[in-house]
C-alpha cells in the first residue's frame, strides 16, 4: 500500500509540474506605439516628481492636501491594507492548523456516577505537493501588487486633476481680467458715442448698439464669476474640504519645460500604474488557472492528536493516561460532477480575457501619450500665433477709434475690431491653458512621477 501511494504521488508530481510554473509576461509589441517620436528618446517626463513639474507653491500645497485627505486615495490605501492581509493569510496557509479540544462528561448507571474527561489538542497539515497553496499565495501577491498599482493610479490621477482644476481657475481669472478691462473700454466707448451724438456726429442707433454690446459683456462677466465659484467648489470637494475660495497665483507666472520627453514605449510597462495593474490582474488569473489545475490532483493531509484522558475504551480510569494518535490521508478526486473541469475552463477563459485587456491597456496608454503630446505642441503653436494676432488687433482698435472721432467711420467698424480683440485675448488665455493641460495630460499618460 505504501509503495502504491508513493508511486501515485510520483506520477502526479511528474504530470503536475507545470502548476508550479511562475508567471511570465506575454510577448507584447511596443514598436510604433508612439507616432513621430525618435526611438532613441530614453528620458521620460514621468521620471520627474510632481513637485519638479508643478513648481507653483500654492498648487503644491493643494496637491499635498489632496494626497492627505482625498477620499478615493484613502480608500485605495485601505484596499492595499486589505490585500496585504489576504497575502499574509495565504502565507500562513503553509502552517498546520492546531485546535484545543477539551471535553468532559458525567454519566450514571446502576447508582454509579462516572466522570470522564479528555484534555487534548489536534493538528492537521495539508502538504502542498501540487501547488494549490503556492498558487494561492502567488495570486495573493499579484493582487497586492495590483492594489498598489491602483493606489498609484489614483494618486497620479488626483495630482493631474488638482493641477488641471488649479490651472482652470488661473485661466478663468485671466479671462475675467480681460473682460473687465474690455468692459471698462466699452463703457468709455459708450460715453464717447453719447458725446458724438450730442455733437451731431453720431446717432441713437450707434449709442444703443454700444450699450447692448456692453450689457452682453456684463452678462459674460457674471457667467465667468459663476464658473470660478463652481470650479473652486469642485476643487474643495476633491480635497475633502468645505467649499471655499482657493488661494492661487496667475496664469502668466507659470513655468514649464520648453521640451517634453516621453521616453521609449517599453517604459510604459513600468511607468503606467494602470498598465501594471492590468498585468498583475493577468498574473492573478494565471495563478488562478494553476490552482484550478491543481484541483485535479490528490490532497495529502497529515493529522494528529495529543491529550490526557481518563476514558480508555469506555472504561473510566483514574488517574488518566496519555492519548496519542496520528493519521495520514490521501484524497484523489475521481468524479465531481464536472465541477473541476468547468472551473478550469472558466479560469482559462478569464486568463485569456486578462491577456487581451493587458495588451489593450498598453495600446490605450500609447494613444493617450500621442494625443497629449500633439495637444501640447498644437497649443504652443496657437499661443505664438495669437500673440501676433492680438498685437495686430490692438492697433486696429486704436485706429478705428481715431477714425470714428475724426472721420465718417461708423461705430460698427469699431465694434467689430473690439469684439475681434476680445475674442483673440480670450482665445490666447484658453490656448495657454491648453498648453499647460497638454503638459498635465502627458505627465498623466506617461505614468506620472510621485
pLDDT tens for the chain, 450 residues: list them.
445 444 454 545 444 555 778 888 888 887 778 776 655 555 577 778 889 889 999 999 999 999 999 999 999 999 999 998 988 888 877 777 777 777 666 666 666 666 666 766 777 777 777 778 888 888 999 999 999 999 999 999 999 999 999 999 999 999 999 999 888 888 887 887 788 778 776 778 778 888 888 898 899 999 999 999 999 999 999 999 999 999 999 988 888 877 777 777 777 777 889 899 999 999 999 999 988 888 888 777 777 777 666 665 555 555 556 666 667 666 666 666 678 889 899 999 999 999 999 999 988 988 888 888 888 889 888 988 988 888 888 888 888 877 766 665 566 677 778 888 888 888 899 999 999 998 898 888 888 767
**Predicted pLDDT at 14:** 46
DSSP state of 338: T
**Predicted pLDDT at 154:** 92
Distance CA 89, CA 132 (A): 14
**Predicted pLDDT at 117:** 62
Report in angstroms the alpha-carbon separations of 2 from 7, 12, 124, 303: 9, 15, 20, 17
Among residues 276, 273, 268, 270, which one has the least CA distance to residue 34?
268
Residue 116: strand pairing partners: 105
**Predicted pLDDT at 308:** 65
Length of the chain: 450
With contact defined as beta carbons under 8 Å apart, do 108 and 114 qualify? yes
**Three-state secondary-structure class, residue 118:** strand
Give every CB contact of residue 16 below 8 A, 6+ residues apart in sequence: 130, 131, 293, 294, 296, 297
C-alpha cell at 388: 501676433
Distance CA 32, CA 36 (A): 9
Report in angstroms the alpha-carbon separations of 415 from 142, 190, 199, 210, 420: 65, 11, 20, 8, 8
Provide the CATH number for the domain formed by 21-96+130-297+337-445 in this structure: 1.20.1600.10
Among residues 442, 419, 414, 338, which one has the least CA distance to residue 48?
442
**Predicted pLDDT at 134:** 85
Distance CA 78, CA 154 (A): 13
**Predicted pLDDT at 122:** 72
Domain borders along the chain are: 21-96+130-297+337-445
Distance CA 295, CA 290 (A): 9
C-alpha cell at 148: 498598489
| Strand 97-100 versus strand 103-109 pairing type | unpaired
Among residues 407, 361, 31, which one has the least CA distance to residue 202?
407
Among residues 402, 403, 392, 380, which one has the least CA distance to residue 425?
392
Amino acid at each position: 500500500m505504501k509503495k502504491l501511494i508513493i508511486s501515485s504521488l510520483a506520477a502526479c508530481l511528474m504530470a503536475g509540474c507545470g502548476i508550479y510554473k511562475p508567471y511570465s509576461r506575454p510577448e507584447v509589441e511596443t514598436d510604433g506605439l508612439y507616432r513621430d517620436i525618435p526611438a532613441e528618446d530614453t528620458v521620460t517626463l514621468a521620471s520627474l516628481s510632481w513637485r519638479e513639474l508643478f513648481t507653483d507653491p500654492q498648487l503644491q500645497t493643494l496637491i499635498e492636501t489632496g494626497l492627505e485627505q482625498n477620499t478615493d486615495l484613502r480608500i485605495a490605501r485601505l484596499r492595499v491594507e486589505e490585500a496585504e492581509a489576504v497575502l499574509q493569510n495565504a502565507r500562513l496557509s503553509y502552517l498546520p492548523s492546531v485546535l484545543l479540544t477539551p471535553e468532559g462528561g458525567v454519566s450514571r448507571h446502576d447508582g454509579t456516577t462516572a466522570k470522564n474527561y479528555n484534555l487534548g489538542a489536534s493538528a492537521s497539515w495539508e502538504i502542498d505537493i501540487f501547488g494549490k497553496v503556492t498558487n494561492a499565495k502567488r495570486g495573493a501577491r499579484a493582487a497586492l501588487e495590483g492594489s498598489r498599482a491602483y493606489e498609484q493610479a489614483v494618486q497620479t490621477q488626483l495630482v493631474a486633476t488638482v493641477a488641471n482644476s488649479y490651472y482652470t481657475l488661473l485661466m478663468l481669472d485671466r479671462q475675467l481680467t480681460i473682460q473687465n478691462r474690455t468692459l471698462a473700454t466699452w463703457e468709455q466707448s459708450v460715453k464717447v458715442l453719447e458725446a458724438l451724438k450730442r455733437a451731431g456726429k453720431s446717432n441713437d442707433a450707434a449709442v444703443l448698439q454700444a450699450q447692448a454690446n456692453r450689457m452682453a459683456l456684463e452678462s459674460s462677466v457674471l457667467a465667468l464669476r459663476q464658473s470660478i465659484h463652481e470650479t473652486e467648489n469642485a476643487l474643495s470637494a476633491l480635497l475633502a474640504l468645505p467649499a471655499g475660495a482657493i488661494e492661487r497665483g496667475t496664469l502668466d507666472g507659470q513655468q514649464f519645460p520648453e521640451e517634453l520627453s516621453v521616453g521609449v514605449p517599453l517604459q510604459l510597462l513600468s511607468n503606467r500604474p494602470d498598465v501594471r495593474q492590468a498585468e498583475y490582474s493577468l498574473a492573478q488569473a494565471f495563478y488562478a488557472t494553476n490552482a484550478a489545475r491543481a484541483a485535479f490532483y490528490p490532497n495529502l493531509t497529515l493529522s494528529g492528536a495529543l491529550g490526557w484522558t481518563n476514558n480508555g475504551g469506555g472504561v473510566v480510569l483514574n488517574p488518566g493516561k496519555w492519548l496519542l494518535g496520528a493519521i495520514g490521508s490521501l484524497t484523489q478526486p475521481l468524479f465531481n460532477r464536472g465541477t473541476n473541469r468547468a472551473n478550469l475552463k472558466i479560469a482559462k477563459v478569464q486568463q485569456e480575457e486578462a491577456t487581451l485587456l493587458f495588451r489593450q491597456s498598453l495600446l490605450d496608454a500609447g494613444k493617450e501619450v500621442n494625443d497629449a503630446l500633439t495637444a501640447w505642441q498644437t497649443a504652443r503653436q496657437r499661443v505664438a500665433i495669437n500673440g501676433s494676432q492680438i498685437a495686430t488687433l490692438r492697433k486696429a482698435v486704436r485706429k478705428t477709434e481715431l477714425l470714428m472721432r475724426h472721420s465718417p467711420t461708423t461705430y460698427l467698424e469699431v465694434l467689430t475690431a473690439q469684439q475681434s480683440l476680445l475674442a483673440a485675448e480670450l482665445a490666447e488665455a484658453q490656448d495657454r491653458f491648453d498648453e499647460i493641460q497638454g503638459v498635465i495630460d502627458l505627465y498623466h499618460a506617461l505614468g506620472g512621477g510621485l
